[in-house]
Structure formats: structure tokens, C-alpha cells
């Protein structure tokens, strides 16, 4: 299966078969850094420029020719519509020209398959925690393709909060890795224990299973709380000296919320396996915090940094599953910025 991923600012192609990843190429666009965020128009143009080369790289690494490709999977959403269209049109043209099945894939479902590519144990039933720049979802996977949504963010996604807080603290884009590094500097300097105390939004011991608030999350207020402290510090000319400690406390707050919501899901469903996916899964403190909170009651499966980031191997893996089920997408497949998660009960 040839996979194509262009939903945001990574252009990626991959070849995946029943044994796993045969070839994977990822180009991370650096043209956005100067703008402090992803510029959709630039992203779409860069995808068009890089796609052919990414496919050639992936196929060369896989040592396969065009004749050995059995289908094409492509991210159809959610994401930036112009960026998605670049991949969808490339995949359609290739599949049509070669007479191959075309399979539109949901980007976030793809992240679950990404982790499964690396861990044999990461198979349903499991609790999925998907944390990316655009989405934060907690779900129960009964089987591949059959899910129950437990909770999601009511405003900003976890990665978006990392990016916005980093920006407010004067750290470069993308902010997630910068916050992690700042937090590590804080820890190396002795830790920030108690210097700042941020709220843990939507986390109360009074939450009851059955309340939507039991699993839902909210990160927008946390971002505002950081901004308020930053403003005060700036007035006293003390922000620069506080950035590392403030970043550490922000990261702690996000990890606390995500880890506790996930622990609740494990406790309530009796489902021991937890599959983590999405760009924020690269955060080592999140993986640590989840493992600590789950203790012996859960098994955590986290992707390596390469597969946590947007990549086409996860898209090809999801497409393999859909093709095996006899699915294929029509030639009218379109890119959808807000594509609904498939298979939700």
C-alpha cells in the first residue's frame, strides 16, 4: 500500500505491507517558522513541490516498483483543506492512472495505526488518547474501525495550547518541543516546585462518570492563565528568568489532565491497553506521566518520535485495513477540513 499524507506541514509518502513499514519519507516544511505558525497557502504549494520526490524516496527504500503497489491510501481530512487537496489529487491521479483502489483515510484514525505499526500489543480493545495540533480525543476502540468517543477538548487542542503558550513566552514555532526543552532546563536547575501554580481545567474530584465533563478537556483557560502571569512578570521585567519554570508548570498541568482522564477511562471500561498517538505523544513528560498514573492497571503503547509526527506510514496502515475490509473510496473523494471520525458508535 502506498500512503500519502499532506494534512498540515509534513509532506510524507510511505510503502507498507503485511510485515510493516517498507519505506517512509517525510519532509517537514521549515518555510513556516518565520511566520510563527503554519501558513496554509505555503503548505499546499510545498506539498505539490515535494510529493513526487517523497514517493520516489519511499518506493526506493521499499525496493518496489509501480507494478507492486496494490492501492493508494491518502489523508482526506481533517486538516488544512488546500494542503489536503494536494495529497488527495496526487493520490487520485496515481490510482486512476494505474487502475488501483483509492482509500481516503481519517488523519486521527491514522495516528492510532501509527502506534500499532510499532507495537504488536497495540491492538483493540484499547483506550486511545490522540493528542495533536488540531485535535485531542479520548476514545475506546472496540475493534479497528469501531470506536466510542469518550471525551474531547472543548476548545484548544493540546498541541495548539503548547504552541500558543510557547509563542506567548517568546519561544519559536513549533512550540511543543520548545516547551519540553524549557521544562527540562527548569528541572536541571533544581525544579520549579511551587513557584507557579496553574489550574488543572476540568479536573475535579467531584466529576462523576456519566457527566460529559468526566472525560472532556479544555486547554484555552490554561493558556490564558499563563498569559496573565507572563503579563505580570513582564511588568516587573522578570519574564525571561521565569520562562523555564512557567513552561514546566504548564506542561505539568496538561500532563495531569490528560493522564487523569486516561486513567479514568481505563478504570471505567476495564480496558487495560492505552494507545497514545499524535504529535504531542513526542512529549516525554506526557509518556512518563501517563505511565506513572496508570501504574500496574494499564499498559501504555506510545509511538516513537518519528511515527508520532505526521507521517504516511500510518495512513498506509489504516488504508490496508480498509482495503482488506473491501472498502474503497469513489473518484469523487474530496478533502474535508472537518472530516468526522469514522466508525463512532
Binding site for ligand KG4 (CB under 6 A): 8, 132-134, 159-160, 162-163, 174-177, 180, 278-280, 282-283, 309-310
Euclidean distance between the first and the last CA atom of the chain, given in angstroms as a whole number: 28
Residue 176 contact partner, candidates Zn ion, ligand KG4, none, CB within 5 to 8 A by sort of partner: ligand KG4
Nearer of residues 165 and 280 to Zn ion, judged by Cβ: 280
Distance CA 55, CA 58 (A): 5
Give the whole-angstrom CA distance, residue 105 versus residue 310.
13
CB of 136 to Zn ion, least distance (A): 11
Binding flag, residue 109, Zn ion (CB under 5 A): no
Kindly state the smallest distance separating residue 132's Cβ from Zn ion, in Å.
4
Q: Which of 86, 58, 61, 59 is nearest to 74 (CA)?
A: 86
Prior bond of 174 cis (ω within 30°): yes
Give CA angle at 151 (149, 155), nearest 5°.
125
CB of 247 to ligand KG4, least distance (A): 11
Helical packing angle, 175-188 and 239-269, nearest 10°: 100
- Give the x/- contact pattern for Zn ion in 113-152, rule: CB under 5 A: -------------------x--------------------
Looking at the Cβ atoms of 113 and 162, the one nearer to ligand KG4 is 162
Cβ distance to Zn ion smaller for residue 138 or 294? 138
Strands 126-131 and 273-277: parallel
180's contact among Zn ion, ligand KG4, none, with CB below 5 to 8 A by partner kind, is ligand KG4
Q: Does 5 bind Zn ion (CB under 5 A)?
A: no
Smallest gap, in angstroms, from Cβ of residue 132 to ligand KG4? 3
**CB nearer to ligand KG4: pick between 198 and 323:** 198
Q: Toward ligand KG4, which CB reaches closer, 159 or 298?
A: 159
Name the minimum Å distance from CB 133 to ligand KG4.
Answer: 3
The stretch among 146-154, 231-239, 285-293, 307-315 that binds Zn ion (CB under 5 A) is: 307-315
Task: Choose the one of Zn ion, ligand KG4, none that binds residue 40, judging by a C-beta under 5 to 8 angstroms depending on kind.
Answer: none
Secondary structure of residue 117 in the 3-state scheme: helix
CA 331 to each of CA 25, 101, 139, 315, 335: distance values in angstroms, whole numbers, following the listed order: 26, 10, 30, 18, 12
Quick one: which of 147, 146, 125, 129 has its CA closest to 138? 129
Contacts of residue 323, defined as CB under 8 A and 6 or more positions apart, other chains included, come to 1, 70, 71, 73, 101, 103
Query: Shortest approach of ligand KG4 to residue 23 CB, angstroms?
Result: 20
What are the CA-CA distances from residue 236 to residues 145, 232, 291 (Å)?
Answer: 53, 7, 39
CB 314 within 8 A of CB 26: no
Q: How far is the CB of 324 from ligand KG4 (least distance, A)?
A: 25
Nearer residue to ligand KG4 within complex by CB, 245 or 310: 310
Q: Which of 140, 178, 249, 310 binds Zn ion (CB under 5 A)?
A: 310
Residue 298 touches which of Zn ion, ligand KG4, none (CB < 5 to 8 A by kind)?
none
Q: Write out the three cell numbers for 299.
A: 499498559
CB of 80 to Zn ion, least distance (A): 12
- With respect to ligand KG4, which residue has the nearer C-beta, 204 or 284? 284
Q: Could you give the CA distance from residue 260 to residue 289 in angstroms, rounded to a whole number?
A: 9
Query: Using CB under 5 A as the criterion, which residues of the chain lie in contact with Zn ion when the complex forms?
Result: 132, 310
Amino acid at each position: 500500500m502506498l500512503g500519502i499524507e499532506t494534512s498540515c506541514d509534513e509532506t510524507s509518502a510511505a510503502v507498507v505491507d503485511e510485515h510493516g513499514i517498507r519505506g517512509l519519507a517525510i519532509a517537514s516544511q521549515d518555510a513556516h517558522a518565520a511566520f510563527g505558525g503554519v501558513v496554509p497557502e505555503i503548505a499546499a504549494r510545498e506539498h505539490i513541490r515535494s510529493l513526487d520526490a517523497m514517493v520516489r524516496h519511499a518506493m526506493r527504500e521499499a525496493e518496489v516498483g509501480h507494478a507492486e503497489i496494490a492501492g493508494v491510501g491518502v489523508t482526506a481530512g481533517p486538516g488544512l483543506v488546500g494542503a489536503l487537496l494536494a495529497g488527495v489529487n496526487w493520490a487520485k491521479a496515481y490510482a486512476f492512472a494505474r487502475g488501483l483502489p483509492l482509500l481516503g483515510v481519517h488523519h486521527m484514525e491514522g495516528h492510532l495505526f501509527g502506534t500499532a505499526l510499532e507495537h504488536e500489543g497495540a491492538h483493540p480493545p484499547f483506550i486511545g488518547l490522540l493528542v495533536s495540533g488540531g485535535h485531542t480525543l479520548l476514545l475506546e476502540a472496540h475493534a479497528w474501525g469501531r470506536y466510542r468517543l469518550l471525551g474531547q477538548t472543548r476548545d484548544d487542542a493540546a498541541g495548539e495550547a503548547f504552541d500558543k503558550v510557547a509563542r506567548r513566552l517568546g519561544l519559536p514555532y513549533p512550540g511543543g518541543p520548545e516547551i519540553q526543552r524549557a521544562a527540562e532546563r527548569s528541572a536541571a536547575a533544581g525544579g520549579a516546585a511551587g513557584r507557579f501554580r496553574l489550574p488543572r481545567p476540568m479536573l475535579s474530584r467531584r466529576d462523576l462518570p456519566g457527566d460529559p465533563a468526566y472525560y472532556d478537556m479544555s486547554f484555552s483557560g490554561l493558556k490564558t492563565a499563563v498569559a496573565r502571569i507572563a503579563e505580570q512578570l513582564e511588568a516587573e521585567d522578570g519574564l525571561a528568568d521565569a520562562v523555564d519554570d512557567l513552561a514546566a508548570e504548564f506542561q505539568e498541568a496538561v500532563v495531569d489532565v490528560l493522564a487523569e482522564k486516561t486513567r479514568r477511562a481505563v478504570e471505567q471500561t476495564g480496558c487495560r491497553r492505552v494507545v497514545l498517538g499524535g504529535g504531542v505523544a513526542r512529549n516525554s513528560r506526557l509518556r512518563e506521566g501517563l505511565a506513572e498514573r496508570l501504574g500496574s492497571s494499564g499498559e501504555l503503547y506510545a509511538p516513537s518520535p518519528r511515527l508520532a509526527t505526521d507521517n504516511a506510514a500510518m495512513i498506509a496502515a489504516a488504508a490496508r485495513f480498509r482495503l482488506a475490509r473491501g472498502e474503497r473510496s469513489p473518484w469523487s473523494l474530496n478533502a474535508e477540513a472537518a472530516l468526522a471520525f469514522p466508525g463512532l458508535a
